[in-house]
Amino acid sequence: MESSDKNRFIKQHIELYGEELFLNSSLPLTDKGFSKVSKKSLLSDVETNLSIHFNQKNDDLNSKQVFGSGDSNADLIIVGESPRDYESESGKPFVGASGKLLDKILKAIGLTRNQNVYLTYILKYKTLDNRDPLLSEINEFLPFLINQIEIIKPKIIVGLGKVVGKAFLDTDSKLEDMRNNIHDFNSYPLKITYCLETLLRDPSLKKYAWEDFQFIRDFLKS
């Protein structure tokens, strides 16, 4: 869709529906809530509303939206802090070197990014110069992430890095302290581990991340 067409669609949508997020909950349910087909539709609704919200606020977004991808009925949601250059260019989460590392980790615990796994971020757009997200940005994006979580209804959420842990837990604790516990976020188990960029910069930490993902593997099997 051309930029002018997209902007016209957004303006028309706002005129018709307003800015509020909406989810159609009157759809057939399974034992995990919404049916697999309807979950995809609901996620698409959230993605559309995310685009509308941020394009109305900022016409100068120089980053492609990276909403999330994977299995809409996943038991495992993996959350990063925000897309980087590769992700912004492709519109897909966790590509480039970090994506290759994540694929290896998932393979080691018997999963793939499209099998029982959903990948997303707190922020859905790349930050300027890849800086850490601001608290105001986290607070603005968090409701969209919560919508994703409530639709998918995972068995466990995995947060990558201190920034994500701080956003979920509202704490300034050290990452090591966050890693040592299984937390609760909106009644979903939450495990915090190292962000992929940190593991690429310091491979000596991979053994500790592997401990975390072994725990995650066993938790999913329990």
Residues 84 and 63: their CA atoms lie apart, in Å, by: 9
Which CA distances in Å does 66 have to 52, 88, 102?
Answer: 14, 7, 17
The pLDDT value recorded for residue 38 is: 87
Amino acid 3: pLDDT? 44
Residue whose tokens read 């685009």 = 51
Which pLDDT does position 118 carry in this prediction? 98
Buried b (16+ CB within 10 A) or exposed e, 176-206: eebbeeebeeeebebbbbbbbbbbeeeeeeb
Closest among 158, 161, 185 to 175, alpha carbons compared: 161
User: Which is it for strands 33-34 and 69-70: parallel, antiparallel or unpaired?
Assistant: unpaired
Are the C-beta atoms of residues 57 and 106 closer than 8 Å to each other? no
For residue range 126-147, list pLDDT tens digits in order: 888 788 888 999 999 999 999 9
Domains of the chain: 63-221 (3.40.470.10)
The mean pLDDT of 8-32, rounded to a whole number, is: 45
Q: How high does pLDDT run on average in the chain?
A: 85
Q: 């980053």: which residue's tokens?
A: 63
pLDDT for 25: 40
Compute the average pLDDT of residues 156-182. 95
List pLDDT tens digits, range 33-46.
555 558 999 999 99
List phi, psi (to 5°) of 33.
Answer: 110, -120
Mean pLDDT for the stretch of residues 13-40: 52
pTM of the model: 0.82
Q: Which of 197, 193, 194 is nearest to 96 (CA)?
A: 197
Handedness of CA 196, 200, 201, 206 (dihedral sign): positive
Contacts of 33 (CB under 8 A, 6+ apart): 39, 151, 153
* Beta bridge mates, 14: none
Q: Give alpha helix (H) positions in 1-158.
A: 3-17, 36-57, 85-90, 96-108, 135-152
Q: What is the pLDDT of residue 73?
A: 94
Question: 183 vs 15, which has greater pLDDT?
Answer: 183
Averaged pLDDT, 121-125 = 94
pLDDT at 153 over 70: yes
Pairing mode of beta strands 29-30, 33-34? antiparallel
Render 138-156 in DSSP notation, one character per residue: HHHHHHHHHHHHHHH--SE
Residue 218 has pLDDT above 60, yes or no: yes
pLDDT band at 26; cut points 50, 70, 90? very low
Binned at pLDDT 50, 70 and 90, residue 54 comes out as confident
How many other CB atoms sit within 10 Å of the CB of residue 127? 17
Q: For the chain, give the percent of residues with pLDDT over 70.
A: 80
pLDDT of residue 1: 41
